[in-house]
Amino acid sequence: MSFKTISSQLAAQLDKDLMGPEIGFTLEQLMELAGLSVAEAVLKEFPYSKSRKSQVLVVAGPGNNGGDGLVCARHLALFGFNPVVFYPKRSSRTQFYGQLVNQLKFFQIPVLDGDDDWAQYLNPNETLCVVDAIFGFSFKPPVREPFGSILQQLRQVQDQLPIVSVDIPTGWDVDEGPVEPNCIIPKVLVSLTVPKPCARKIESLETQHYVGGRFVPRSFANKYGFEPFAYENASQVVKLAPE
Amino acid sequence: MSFKTISSQLAAQLDKDLMGPEIGFTLEQLMELAGLSVAEAVLKEFPYSKSRKSQVLVVAGPGNNGGDGLVCARHLALFGFNPVVFYPKRSSRTQFYGQLVNQLKFFQIPVLDGDDDWAQYLNPNETLCVVDAIFGFSFKPPVREPFGSILQQLRQVQDQLPIVSVDIPTGWDVDEGPVEPNCIIPKVLVSLTVPKPCARKIESLETQHYVGGRFVPRSFANKYGFEPFAYENASQVVKLAPE
């Protein structure tokens, strides 16, 4: 089954359109639905069970991809998981990011900053998976610190501790894929709204591919050159079959 | 199975808490999740099928209950239904309500105002159900026009055209139930966060009861005297068994 993709440039335009005066979505709305869809993909891929480990480490970057991760962590808690959030570089762009952190505290979800020992959560005996919500479709290389070191640590454990990447595997070129040496290889990719070209590079990697962010009508999808994805019932994610 | 309820007064306090400075939810977030949960309840109760009628009339009131209805309509469209929104008295409280209407237009969902012939959609041969998103937990009687006449028309067709009420069946006293003469009797009630006392009055009415608005942790539920509801997997609603 083939899937359409849109370039990083078009993805930026699509986002701008959705939050522009005509359509009028707010960041809060889209982020809530995007984060929820990522949490649902985690649940589908790693079904929750009381009898097994349920800790999920969410690594959140400074921008909107990180915001999706913060929302995802909250929904993971509602699904029964024990999320821990590592948020080393916090956005001061809008007050809303602070509110997202308060919402995590409301759920008693630990939120670690750059000085905390986040690496203790990279223990595969205790942690089920890592959500990579560091950078999204507006990422331009190179990866700057502290994220370079963080990615290096994630890469060292990725064979034992599966990574779930939000929209873009962090460090990958959005259009070209894993062009830098030593890129992480996620076990799961959750493309938001529509895959970006780098998602084609997971075909040979046995990465499970989901699409989430269920919020555009057919007419809008068609305008951007893709068809709506085949979401079932009320599900906020759809798993794509391997190519 | 028994369920806990909270009074109209406590529900107002709970809402204020959720959007207060400490917890920091925004109206946009909570409304998105609440509206999504109502759409999911509609889907569960009236499964979508290409081969049968799929029109849903959403009647939206001027406040937050109406906002939940506007969001619900958008998710119903994403689920495959053909929603039509009747929104006779529009809120000018915040710009966000205008944005919710723009989002409906984005989905090509008709939004009727008070001058439009909304009653044409009360045809049970074409319409699957009516979502009553007129008034919520802050409603105080009496019902004012145009909503008195609207309720009267809904009541006339309710045996052929099932009503799905959002949080409170409109016209019912939030704490006492259907105390006014000629109240509507919904076939489905979707309580948000936690049922209000009037929900106890549906026991004898064969009304299906759902709880949606999945956004509070156990500690907060306990503070308000209830236990979290038994949502399954990523579902945003849970159906309560009859008492």
- Indicate the SS3 state at residue A186: coil
Report the candidate in B90, B44, B55 with the shortest Cα–Cα distance to residue B70.
B90
From the list B96, B107, B234, the residue facing A40 with the nearest CB is B234
- CA-CA distances (angstroms) from residue A74 to A230, A234, B216, B217, B232? 26, 19, 10, 9, 16
| pLDDT value at residue B92 | 75
> Are A235 and B233 an interchain contact pair (Cβ–Cβ within 8 Å)?
no
Judging contacts by C-beta atoms under 8 Å, the chain B residues touching residue A220 are 106
Question: Average of pLDDT values for B51-65?
Answer: 95
More confident: A2 or A167: A167
Query: Does the annotation list B138 as a binding residue?
Result: yes
- Phi then psi for residue A189, to 5 deg, are -120, 130
CB atoms within 10 A of CB A53: 16
The ranges assigned to domains in chain B are 8-235
Tell which of B22, B233, B235 to mutate to test the A interface (max A CBs under 10 Å): B233
Lowest mean pLDDT among A25-29, A210-214, B37-41, B141-145: B141-145
**Eight-state DSSP code of residue A177:** B
Question: Average of pLDDT values for A201-216?
Answer: 93
Q: Give the pair of three-digit tokens for residue B10.
A: 């406590």
Residue partners of B118: CB distance under 8 A and separation at least 6: B57, B59, B86, B88, B112
Report the candidate in B58, B178, B69, B65 with the shortest Cα–Cα distance to residue B130.
B58
* Alpha carbon of B33: minimum distance to chain A alpha carbons (Å): 8
Grade residue B168 by pLDDT with cuts at 50, 70 and 90: very high
Q: Give the pair of three-digit tokens for residue B131.
A: 């979502």
| pLDDT value at residue B69 | 98
Q: How many CA atoms lie within 13 A of A6 on its CB side?
A: 21
- What are the contacts of B142-149 at 24+ separation with CB within 8 A? B142/B180, B143/B170, B143/B171, B143/B180, B146/B88, B146/B89, B146/B114, B147/B61, B147/B88, B147/B89
* Alpha carbon of B78: minimum distance to chain A alpha carbons (Å): 7
Residue A92 pLDDT > 90, yes or no?
no
Residue partners of B11: CB distance under 8 A and separation at least 6: B137, B174, B193, B194, B196
| pLDDT value at residue A51 | 81
| pLDDT value at residue A2 | 79
Give B170-193 pLDDT, tens digit per residue: 999 999 999 888 899 999 999 999
- Average pLDDT along chain B: 95
Judging contacts by C-beta atoms under 8 Å, the chain A residues touching residue B234 are 36, 39-40, 43-44, 75, 79, 235-236
The pLDDT > 70 percentage for chain A reads 99
Helix, strand, coil percentages, rounded to 5, for chain A: 35, 15, 50
Q: Is the distance from CB of B75 to CB of B35 less than 8 angstroms?
A: yes
| pLDDT value at residue B243 | 58
Quote the CA–CA distance of A34 and A168 in Å, as a whole number: 13
Give A46-79 pLDDT, tens digit per residue: 988 888 899 999 999 999 999 999 999 999 999 9
B32 sits in which H/E element: helix B27-45
More confident: B180 or B42: B42
From the list B22, B78, B231, the residue facing A214 with the nearest CB is B78
Q: Is the distance from CB of A130 to CB of A161 less than 8 angstroms?
A: yes
What is the CATH architecture of A8-240?
A: 3-Layer(aba) Sandwich (3.40)
Q: Is the distance from CB of B207 to CB of B187 less than 8 angstroms?
A: yes
| pLDDT value at residue A141 | 85
If you classify domain B8-235 with CATH, what class do you get? alpha beta
Q: Is the distance from CB of B156 to CB of B124 less than 8 angstroms?
A: no
Per DSSP (E only), the strands in chain B are: 55-60, 82-86, 111-112, 127-133, 163-166, 188-192, 208-212, 237-240
Residue A104 pLDDT > 60, yes or no?
yes
Q: Is the pTM above the cut of 0.95? A: yes
- Average pLDDT along chain A: 95
